A and B are shown apart, each in its own frame.
Chain A
Amino acid sequence: MEILRYAVFRFFTMLATLLVVSALVFFIMNLPPGDYLSNLIAELRSTGQDSGVAKVEFLRQEYSLDQPLWKQYLIWIGFWPGPHGFSGIIHGDFGWSFEYDKPVSEIVGSALWLTVLVNLAAVLFVYVVALPLGVLAAVRSKTWVDYTSALIGYLGLATPNFLLALMLFYYGHKYFNLPIGGLMAPEFEGEPMSAAKVKSVLVHLIIPTFVIGTAGAAAMMQRLRANLLDELSKPYVETAKAKGVPPIRSVLKYPLRVAFNPFVADIGNLLPSLISGSVLVSVVLGLQTIGPALLTALKSQDQFLAGFILLFVAGLTLIGTMISDVLLALLDPRIRYGGRKR
């Protein structure tokens, strides 16, 4: 029950943090001079198309870009009435993308879920790969097992993701007939969910997951190895041995449990690095995630689109940290009962 209370408490601190993050995102985005529309006006003027200027001026008012920054922010979030009354992110209106000339929600709509899907798959990949390899490398430290896994790990860390992506594309297609590009076969796009569509998505996921996950998995594996090595020399492991606990169990049951903490605590850190890492990969692989959209939006100062995507990524990160905090409390009694009366 206590843990539930903690989870709820943690959820509200997360919301508060998200609010602070949204302000930071908004103000940092507005640090470079000008905005999408003022750039457009300048461009129109220099090319002599003065007739378009009036329309753009109208847009400026329509989206409150003529207001002071703090007011713009409050309108964007939805705490302050805009030209058409309250309508902001908390009211479900994510704003207008000037670049695509569509509402933001239409552009990111399906991409959001695909982003979550790709990154969840990558996180799973990181853990599934790092856990056994890290344990193996620690238990067999300074043997060929350790060295080989370290070598592969460093290769994974050192290879640029997009390069890896291109290579895997070529060989994956040549030898395993894996599909190239996209997150599903073209005929399923915009179609309702079906078994065939799910299968298509899964097949398309293989290469992106691998590409996005390798670096994270390599880093995670080294971290787990180091932590576990530390734990393996602790006296309680000796106690277990002296008790007659079989060797495999004496590693898995005691030291691994303790070494697991940083492993779990990393969920939160993993997400942002995966997502920012996956932007380029998405461009190269042609994935319909929010990555490519973010890149264009940032380049052209398309502020509502960029702001929403950044906020979304921040939200994912905060959810990740919240999950790892709650998991840590579940896993480690010292965190849970640290102040319990004796």
Chain B
Amino acid sequence: MDKAPLLQVRDLSIGFGKGTPIISNISFNVAAGETVALVGESGSGKTVTCKAILRILSANAKIHSGTVIFNPGDGELELISMPERKLRELRGDQISMIFQEPMHSLSPLHRIGAQVSEVLCLHRGHRKKSAKKLVLEKFERVGFPDPERVYRSYPFELSGGMRQRAMIAMAMIAKPDLLIADEPTTALDVTTQAQILSLIKDLQAETGMAVILVTHDLGVVANTADRVVVMRNGRIMEAGSVAEILDHPKHGYTKKLIDAAPAIPHEAEPSRARQIDDPILQLENVSKSFDLRGGMFSKRGEVVRAVQGVDITVERGKTFAVVGESGSGKSTCAKIALGAASPDPGGVIRFWPAKSAPPLEVQSLDPTAKRAFQRQAQMVFQDPYGSLSPRMQVIDILTEPLEIHEIGTRSERRDRAVELLEQVDLDPAMLRRFPHAFSGGQRQRLSIARALALEPKLLVCDEPTSALDLSVQMQVLELLEDIRETLGLSYLFISHDLAVVSRIANEVAVMRRGQIVEQAAPDILFSAPKHPYTKALIAACLEPSVEQKIDLDAVAIGAGDPETWPEEFAFQASEVPPLTETEPGHLVRIQI
């Protein structure tokens, strides 16, 4: 390398308070124009490292030692010892940052345009008027169809993907030499993720800036990075070029990460018809509309049709998965299946407590019968942090369902709690602990144990692994598979993650705009998808292999509005093609 690198991080150590450092002796370089990925699981110190470069760490974090040298071509600057005032001139100008949560990274009370132009006003001495022209150009560049409108909008009026585009516009407006992107696509849907990543790449090619990309997703790394730094517990495990690291990992931890990375099947067994002799749950012609209450100045509410004419049959002892992006109606389906929301008139939910027993019609049960039904159908929630009360001990969390349904004596309930902990591979000695003493994966085990307390026959799992690290995700999936076998459970499994679904499901339905667009067994669905939307989801699912690049065209075609799909799939106003069995066991919403 003849030129000095753009950024050199040397022996950086950071700690909170007086404790042991959480970042120890981190060193890496970033050359001008290249993309370096910082990879690791949560708690590995990726984000702290990035914030330390800009020195925007929270007040209780202290940089113990180390240097960060930034050299944009006109001399070296040492960022750690630089006076705050000088550093402020660099922030947002020569080094800018994008954060993980597009929903919360923009001020809710200021117009997008004002927030973006502020960068130019701060660093380029622009006035609002003169900045506006540049901002509008940038908005157009990041893919807003109507820049003027976005300029006037408030963040809550844009979707997550759009907000992240606005963040990117803000980060890029001053043409920085270095962009730090902290999990920029983690909170987004897969198809949006693909578009945002390619946008960052294009912008990088145009301006020649360098990018530090923080991510836990090796698929993202394979598709975007030039070099990789693998971190764990505040230390660098391994660093090198993408090809080196992904194809020939040397460190055991990197190997583990790569093995844990999800993959979807590429091969299918021959197609076969689906025959169900012993169903446990059936949704028939289920729709759900919500009245959108208008804001305070809008006159009439709008009706949103969250779910439209969905038919689902879950076979006893099997897993039926519903896949879709945010807003597809999959969670509404889950709620309806549990009787927690009632379907529009005409929808029927049948539940068979045992094989060839007469079915219960859940939508018309009286409150007592519904309680009895709910004992047999329980839910596992997405967020293991939010769904467990922080003020209850484990034993109380596990026995509460039993108390509500007045089952057993105190000591019997206690015994049941111990049994439940053993079922989910947790130590019964933890009965008296509070949830905060558990890691994310352990908490999700607790949620599962709670759901099992009433010995249900059906579990509805709403994104049960989405909030977890990859390696933990695998363990939780294994647990779910195990207890399905040993306890004879059936699952209705809601997820946006194709890889997770392909592993656990026996049958998969893909939802978009409240409709099932394709349904088949996972191997068939993922190896021979027919519907453009399914194809887009699969194309956007990034794999940790350097040869597999995103097929952006496929993503773009399928992820668009249903009106823009190829003719035989397209929705024309309220006209929707029928769900047709194109091959035995393979349903596609297509006009033949």
Residues of A at the B interface (CB closer than 8 Å) are 2, 5-6, 233-236, 238-246, 253-254, 257-258, 329, 331-342
Q: List 19 A-B contacts (CB under 8 A).
A: A2-B297, A233-B58, A236-B105, A239-B106, A242-B56, A242-B92, A246-B88, A332-B109, A334-B109, A334-B156, A336-B295, A337-B154, A339-B292, A339-B296, A339-B297, A339-B298, A340-B157, A342-B157, A342-B158
Check A333/B109 contact, CB under 8 A, given A2-B297, A243-B170, A244-B122: yes
B88 contacts which chain A residues (CB < 8 A)? Answer: 244, 246
- Knowing A337-B154, A339-B294, the reply to whether A258 touches B109 (Cβ < 8 A) is yes
Task: Using A243-B91, A244-B89 as known contacts, list a sample of 16 further A-B pairs with CB atoms less than 8 Å apart, ordered by residue number in A.
Answer: A6-B296, A235-B105, A236-B104, A236-B105, A236-B108, A241-B54, A241-B56, A242-B91, A244-B90, A244-B93, A244-B123, A245-B92, A333-B109, A334-B156, A339-B298, A342-B158
Complex formed: what's the CA distance from A245 to B101 in Å? 20
B70 within 8 A of A: no
Expressed in whole angstroms, the minimum distance between the Cβ of B487 and any Cβ of chain A is 41
Give every chain A residue within 8 A of B123 (Cβ-Cβ): 244
B382 to chain A, nearest CB (A): 20
| Chain B facing A: main interface SS | loop
Q: How far is the CA of A166 from the CA of B119 in the complex (A)?
A: 55
Which chain B residue lies CB-closest to A141?
Answer: B59
Bound complex: CA A331 to CA B105 (Å): 20
Contact call B296/A336, Cβ cutoff below 8 A? yes
A244 B109 Cβ-Cβ under 8 A = no
CB pair A239 B296 closer than 8 Å: no
Whether B355 is near chain A, meaning CB under 8 Å from some CB there, is no
Please tell me if B351 contacts chain A, counting CB pairs below 8 Å: no
A239 to B54, CA, bound (A): 11
Asked if B295 and A340 make an inter-chain contact with CB atoms under 8 angstroms apart, the answer reads yes
| B88, B109, B123, B170: most-surrounded residue (chain A CB, <10 A) | B109
Q: What are the residues of chain A within 8 A of B104 when measuring CB–CB? A: 234-236
Q: Which of B567-587 contact A (CB under 8 A)?
A: none
Asked if B139 is an interface residue, CB under 8 A from chain A, the answer is: no
Cβ B295 vs Cβ A238 within 8 A: no
Q: Is B293 an interface residue (CB 8 A)?
A: yes
* Chain A residue contacts of B118, Cβ below 8 A: 243, 245
Complex Cα spacing A134 to B298, Å: 36
Q: Top 8 A-B pairs ranked by shortest CB distance?
A: A339-B295, A338-B295, A339-B294, A243-B92, A244-B91, A244-B92, A339-B298, A242-B97
Interface positions of B from 286 to 319, Cβ below 8 Å from A: 292-298
Chain A residues near B105 (CB-CB < 8 A): 235-236, 238-239
B136-172 interface bits toward A, Cβ cutoff 8 Å, 1 = contact, 0 = none: 0000000000000000001011100000000100100
Could you say which residues of chain A place their CB within 8 Å of the CB of B108?
236, 258, 333-334
CB < 8 Å neighbour of B99 from A6, A235, A254: A235
CB distance A333 to B296 under 8 Å? no
Residue B110 CB within 8 A of the other chain: yes
**Which of B58, B104, B297, B298 has the most C-beta atoms of chain A within 10 angstroms of its own C-beta?**
B297
Complex interface: chain B residues within 8 A of A241 (CB): 54, 56, 91
Residues of A within 8 A of B93 (CB): 244
A333–B54 touching, CB < 8 Å: no
The CA of A342 and the CA of B162, in the complex, are separated in Å by 12
Contacts of A338 in B (CB 8 A): 294-296
* B58, B104, B107, B154 pick with most chain A CB within 10 angstroms: B107
Provide the residues of chain B in CB contact with A240, threshold 8 Å.
107
Q: Nearest Cβ distance between residue B445 and chain A, in whole angstroms?
A: 29
Contacts of B158 in A (CB 8 A): 342
Q: Are B296 and A254 in contact (CB under 8 A)?
A: no
Say yes or no for B195: interface residue by CB 8 A criterion: no
Residues of A within 8 A of B97 (CB): 239, 242
> Among residues 147 to 204 in chain B, which have CB atoms less than 8 Å away from a CB atom of chain A?
154, 156-158, 167, 170
Considering only residues 79-115 of chain B, those with a C-beta below 8 Å from chain A are: 88-93, 96-97, 99-101, 104-111
